[in-house]
Structure 1
């Protein structure tokens, strides 16, 4: 499994946490995910994509 795929899986797992934290209120859970978790996820996903690209470039040099 690639690093970006792992990051996506990690992000998806937060939906259960958000729903529990917001006591089942979907609108509040979406807001929680959009404001708090997504910003963190977006930065990690950018770094994961860069790492994948970097590793592919390094493999091509061999």
Structure 2
């Protein structure tokens, strides 16, 4: 197809994958706003555990 040999297609594919990799790295680490979102998401599990533990303690106090 288009007179390109296998080596040329491999080169084009390699460049495409590299560009996609750079895009993902930029998306993940390029913005301060995104870092804040990732940090909030990473810490959200601790917030949920704390609130569920506190609500269970409150429920047990109410039943006593």
TM-score, normalisation: structure 2: 0.46
Rg (Cα) greater in structure: 2
Higher RCO by CA contacts (8 Å cutoff, separation 6 or greater): 1
